[in-house]
Chains A and B, each alone.
Chain A
Amino acid sequence: MTGPRTLFDKIWDAHEAVPAGPDHPAVIYVDTHLIHEVTSPQAFALLGERGLPVRRPDRTWATVDHSIPTRFVEGRPAFLNRATRNQVATLERNCEAHGIPIFRMGDPGQGIVHVIGPELGLTQPGRTIVCGDSHTSTHGAFGAWAFGIGTTEVAQVLATQCLLQERPRTLSIEVSGTLAPGVSAKDLILGIIRRFGVDAGRGYVIEYRGGAVEALGMEARMTLCNMSIEAGARAGLVAPDETTFEYLEGRENVPSGEGFRDLVAGWRKLPSDEGAVFDRSLSFDAGSIEPMVTWGTNPAMSCGVSEAVPAPSDPEERAALEYMGLEAGRPLLGRPADVVFIGSCTNARISDLRAAARVLAGRKTNPRTRLLVVPGSAKVRRQAEAEGLDEVFRSAGAEWRAPGCSMCIAMNGDRLSPQELAVSTSNRNFQGRQGPGGRTVLASPVTAAASALAGAVADPRPFLSN
C-alpha cells in the first residue's frame, strides 16, 4: 500500500506472511500468543490428534486466571470443583509437554492474561497479539493489533504461528474535550458504547484518537481498549507515544539501552500518517459525560449516575429492565447493592486500586454490601500491599483476594446468587454473567467504591471532593 497509512495499515502490512489470494485470506503472522486454561485444552487436543508440535513455544506464554479460585482455605486454593482443578492441571501438562512458559498460581508473574502481558513487557507497539479471549483488545492500548480468537484458531497459532485474516475496516473515534473530575476511562468507554451501540465496531478495528485519549495514562488506555469488543470491534488501538515508551522502558522482555532506543525509533513511525483515511469516523466529547452506570443487560444500556433510567425503547430493553428489577424514570442512585466487585482485566490494575482506595480510606462499607477487591495480577497485589492499600481495603470491610478473573465470570466459585445486584468494575452486564440470575451494574472503580460505602449505587464525586 502506498500513500498515507493508518496505524492499523502499518501493522497489517508488516505481518502479512502471505498476502490474500483470490481464494484465501491473508496469512497473518502472530508475534505474541497468550493462552489460558479455559480456551486451550481442546486446541492442544487437536494438535495431539494430528501429531503436530508447537511451532514457536518461545512466542507463547500461558497463565491461569479464569477458573482458578481467588480464595485459599488453610493455605490451599479453594477450587470450585474437580473440573476447574483439572483444567488448570491440563494446561500445566500441555505447557510442560511443549516447552511453553507458564505462570502458575502463586508465581510472581501470574495474573489475568490481559494484565500480565503489558506488565511483563510482552505487549509492545506494532506487534500482533492474540489470545483465546475476546478482551485481548486490551493490548491495543500500546498500538499493537490485539484480538481474541476461538479455540480452533488457538490450535492454528500453536501449530503455525499464523492465522488467516480478512482485512478488517478501520474506524476512527476522535475523543475531544477533557474528562471531568471523578470521570474515568471506564466512564468514557461506557459513554462511547451508549452513544454508538454494541455493534458499531463490527467488522472494524477502532483507533481511539484525539486529545482526551492522548491525555490518558497507559492503564486508562487499557481500560478503554479493553471494552472495544463491547462495541463490537475485535480490536481497539491507541497510537504509541511518550506515555507508552515510558511505561515499557525497563520492563522484563523489553531490551534496554541501545536496543530500547532502536525499538522506540521504530515505534515512532507507527502512528497514523497525516491524511490517512479511515473507513469510518466518529467523534465524541469527553466533557459530555458524568460517572456512568449500566441499568440493563448489555453495556450500551447505561446512563449517567444522576440520570433517571430511560424509558425502554424496544422489547429487549423492557426485558432488560425486568431482569434487573428496575423501573424506568427513576435513577439507579440509591438502589441497594448486595455486592461490590472491584476487579477484572478492565479495572484491576494498580491505578484502579489506588483510585478505589482513595474513596475507601478511613471509611467503612455499608454492612449490607459485600466488597470484593481482586487485584489483576500477583504484581499488582504486591504493589498494592507495598503501598498499604490492602490495609485500606480490609479496614473498610473488604475481602482482599488473590489475583484472577474472580467475579467477572461465574466459573471459579466467586459469583452472585440469583437476583443479587452487584456494582462491578468488570466489562459485561450480560444476564447471568456474574452468576445465574445475578444483576450487574457496570461502573468505574471510584463509583464501585462509593457504592460499597453507601450500600447502594452511589455518585463517587462527593467522596472525592474532600
Chain B
Amino acid sequence: MEPVVRIASRTVVLAADNVDTDQIIPARFLTGTSREGLGASLFADWRRDGAGNLRPEFPLNQPEADGARILVAGANFGCGSSREHAPWALTDYGFAAVVSPSIADIFKGNAVRNGLVPVEIESQAHQRLLSRPGAEIVIAVEAGTVSLPGGGTARFELPPFARRCLLTGRGPLDFLLEQGPAISRYEREMSEVAGRGSSGAADPS
C-alpha cells in the first residue's frame, strides 16, 4: 500500500444517499480470485445500460469527471455487503477519497486498508461540495482537512491508527504480526481459564 498524504483533485458528485456496495460493484463481478481490474465494473449498472453502452447522464461518464480522484457521495455511503471489492473497484478506477456526511462501518475500514481515504464531513460543508461538482479541492490526511469551493475548510476525523496507516502505507497486518508474542500469551491464558468453565475464548473441542 502506498502512503497517502495529500489529494488534490476535481470532484465527481454522486448525490444519492445509501449507495450500497451492490451498486458500487454488482455481485456478478465478484467471481474472480484476484483484485486487479475491478475498476471496469465500478457502478456497472449505473454507468452502462442493458446493452452495455455508457449512459451519458451518469456523473462518472461526463467529460469533466475524467481523471477526478475524489468522489463526493450522499449519506450512508458503502452500506450493505462487506465486499472489499467495493474499495478495490473505486481505487482501481482511480479514486483516492470518498467524501460523505456518513460512511458505513465495514466500508470505512475496508477503504483505509486499501489507501482510499474515507472523509466524513458535516452536512453544511457537504452541501457546498454537492452543489459544486467538478470543484478543485485538497484533502490533507495528516491535518484532517478538506478545502471547500469558495474558500474555507471542513474537518474530518480519522482514528489515529487509520490515519497513520494511510500516511505510512503500513497496514494493520504488520502491526498484528508484531503482536505475535502477546497473542500467544493470550491463547495460553485463555485455554487455562477455559478449562475452568469460562465464557471466554474456549479452545475448539
A contact set with B: CB distance below 8 Å: 10, 14-15, 17-18, 22-25, 27, 29, 31-32, 38-39, 41-42, 45-46, 50, 52, 55, 58-59, 66-67, 80-81, 83-84, 86-87, 90, 124-128, 132-134, 148-153, 155-156, 159-164, 166, 198-199, 202-203, 229, 232, 234, 253-255, 259, 262-263, 265-267, 269-270, 298, 314-316, 319, 409-411, 418, 428, 430-433, 436-437
Contacts and interface: CB of A to CB of B under 8 A. Distances in A.
Contacts of B74: 316
B53 interface: no
Interface in B144-201: 159-161, 164, 171-173, 175-177, 179-180, 182-183, 186-187, 190, 196-201
A265 B27 contact: no
Contact of A17 (B114, B183, B204): B183
25 contacts: A18-B179, A23-B160, A23-B164, A24-B161, A31-B201, A32-B204, A38-B31, A59-B204, A86-B33, A134-B81, A149-B82, A150-B106, A164-B172, A202-B76, A253-B204, A254-B205, A316-B17, A316-B74, A410-B28, A418-B50, A430-B80, A431-B22, A431-B23, A432-B22, A433-B22
Nearest to B20: A430
B202 interface: yes
B69 to A, nearest CB: 21
B43 to A, nearest CB: 11
B203 to A, nearest CB: 8
Given A23-B164, A255-B205, A432-B26, A17 B186 contact: yes
Contacts of A259: 205
B34 A45 contact: yes
- Nearest 7 CB-CB pairs, A to B? A262-B197, A41-B33, A266-B199, A126-B199, A83-B31, A17-B186, A148-B82
A234 B26 CA distance: 21
Residue with the greatest number of chain B CB neighbours at <10 A, chosen from A23, A25, A150, A161: A150
B105 A203 contact: yes
B115 to A, nearest CB: 11
Nearest to A130: B82
B175 A24 contact: yes
Contacts of B59: none
